[in-house]
Amino acid sequence: MRDDTAQRRWHAIEADEALELLGSSRDGLSRNEADARLARDGLNALETEEEVGPFQLLLRQVRNPLIYLLAGAAVLSLLVGHGVDALVIAGVVVLNSLLGFFQEWRAEGALAALRDMAAPHARVLRDGRSTQVDAAHVAPGDVMLLETGDSVAADARLLSGDDLQVDESALTGESEPAAKRPDRMDEDAAMADRENMVWMSTSVTGGRGRAVVVATGMRTQMGQIAREVRSAQQEETPLQKRMHKLGLVLGVGGVALAGLVFALGLLRGYPLVDMLMFAVAAAVSAIPEGLPAVISVTLALGVRRMAQRNAIIRRMTAVETLGSTTVICSDKTGTITQNQMTVRRLWAGGATFEVSGEGYRPDGEVRRDDAGTVAETAGPLDRLLRIGVLSNNAGLKEESGQWRVDGNPSEGALLVVARKAGIDADAMRREVQRLAEVPFSSSTKYMATLHPGDDGTGRVAYVKGAPERILGFCSHVLADGERVELNDERRREVAEISEQFASEALRVMAGAYRDMPQGASKLERAAAEEGLTLAGLWGMLDPPREESVQAVRDAKGAGIRPVMITGDHAVTALAIARQVGIAQDGRVVTGREIDEMAKPDLARAALEAGVFARVTPAH
């Protein structure tokens, strides 16, 4: 594949035009054509560093002026008949080299094991039929079939999608799965806003779709990141620089001192051989034979402590750089935050509620803001939580003491808050049958389900989705336990609550219901889009980890400046940065601003700003 083809703005053209440019069709490639393209463009795999052999690892340990100096001292000691000294110095060199060798050999083995754990596959259309192939054998022009749970094998332009949701947090920093649709996007759309593109190494969390591959291997977004990482020049650590300088100083100083001693001895009439041996002894004595071993043992202890914290140190000398760190740049999603959506605020029946607890573990309470007491799950609040449980396709499970969500993270958060309020979501789902469903789509921004009514004879439709959409469907609202008309004043009040939640960096979702005719077995979109009664609002976010606040505090205490770099929205990034103590003046630099900055301005912003939001890997 030519590089200009790989870098084309595929999101800004129609799907059929993309197929034509790629020489493909909606039925995919033939097997012969796919093989030809693989032969031409190479396998769909990221280039990795060449494996380091044992000899190269061992050679790496002795590339140090101080080691050279010790080796020279051992040879000189042997030449002048000091065999014991020579053996001691040689032993120090060997032990020092073996210590570093075995440590780095174990690290290389651990990294290789991690790489071997992933053996991804992909389903593509070959000769018009669905075929499973190794991800490495996906070719440009292949049509991938994507379903829930799949890992996207290559960068691709969406051809069709049925409520397709993709988790792009590892690439863009978005906490929420991105809704995908095949429509053409604006040419200047940021990577996180290209809803018609799917990216290598992201995962499908919901729905299904078809996409034509536009870039493989090192031409993908992940490949560009890998190329940038590999092109970064490896500098010597401060300790290595100091060791090299010390080795040169000791070497030059030792030789100069030995030469001076030798010359003075000759001037005073001492025998030549005696002075030569004395000068060599003086030079050897100036060399700290134990210093390399002490440094290696110290670094090895540091590596061991890092290993106990589940961190693999590839090179021992890298441990020392931790002590020289002045700035720590960290991602947000999954690093500073838990990457687990959590409901923090609720509004129902005219009252606002606070929810305690973090992540998917259903430990916490729901308390009224005004009273501070544990809320009773009755009336509007019960109705809202009930909607969140029943109009929901996610699942909440506990495995080995860890809670996880199968499905959309936001829907998982609704199950968690229901459990915190004392509702047995699994039992409720077993008791209340789902009769029909209007699935969520990125265009309608809501989901609706049909269930038996509370009295067991009627029918009720539960609807949840974007507040601006749900509010437009509602004619009534639950207030003080009663169903009242949603007049202009109440509509403004709800809109203000929603805006208040959003200003706190909360993702807002609304829940509503409608009583349906007895015996109804189908649910049409028209019925779900009018005459609803608003039950309330959920406000959720991906909360910071408990240890993040202390980690930021410790870093600042050590004179280190933490910086957050994320692909998420600026408001969300700033709110999290303030919670953990990163943001000082509230300034956020966005990826669009970085593109427009001159180098001096960018350098100044890098020194001043604590939050960089809506950035891409290229930034």
Return the active site residues.
331
Separation in Å, CA 477 to CA 383, 487, 512, 532, 537: 12, 9, 8, 8, 11
Q: Do residues 152 and 124 touch, judged by C-beta distance below 8 A? A: no
Q: Do residues 380 and 482 touch, judged by C-beta distance below 8 A? A: no
- 497 conformational bin, left if phi > 0, alpha if psi -120 to 50, beta if neither: alpha
Q: Which residue has the tokens 């809704």?
A: 179
d(CA 64, CA 83): 24
Phi, psi torsion values for 432, nearest 5 degrees: -105, 105
Nearest to 422 by CA among 486, 375, 468, 353: 375
Phi, psi torsion values for 574, nearest 5 degrees: -65, -40
Q: Which residue has the tokens 């606040």?
A: 549
Side chain identity, residue 313 = I
Separation in Å, CA 452 to CA 95, 269, 384, 447, 461: 76, 115, 16, 17, 9
DSSP type of residue 49: P
C-alpha neighbours within 13 Å on the C-beta side of residue 84: 0
List of residues 6+ apart from 489 with CB closer than 8 A: none
